[in-house]
Amino acid sequence: MVYDVYGREFPLEHMQACVGDGWADIVERLYRLCERHNIRVFQVKEKYGGLRFYVGEAPDIIHDAIEEAEKQSEQTCEFCGKEGKVIAKNGWLYCRCSDCMKK
Percentage of the chain with pLDDT > 70?
100
State pLDDT tens for residues 52-99. Answer: 999 999 999 999 999 999 999 999 999 999 999 999 989 999 999 999
Which residues constitute the domain of residue 38?
A: 12-74
Query: Residue 20 falls within a domain, yes or no?
Result: yes
CA distance 91 to 87: 10
Whether residue 102 has pLDDT greater than 90: no
Whether residue 21 has pLDDT greater than 90: yes
CA distance 66 to 83: 19
Query: Residue 83 falls within a domain, yes or no?
Result: no
Query: Residue 79 falls within a domain, yes or no?
Result: no
Q: Domains in the chain: how many in total?
A: 1
Closest of 31, 57, 35, 33 to residue 44, by C-alpha: 31
Query: Residue 80 falls within a domain, yes or no?
Result: no
Query: Residue 17 falls within a domain, yes or no?
Result: yes
Element (H, E) at 101: helix 98-101
What pTM did the predictor assign?
Answer: 0.94
Element (H, E) at 52: strand 50-55
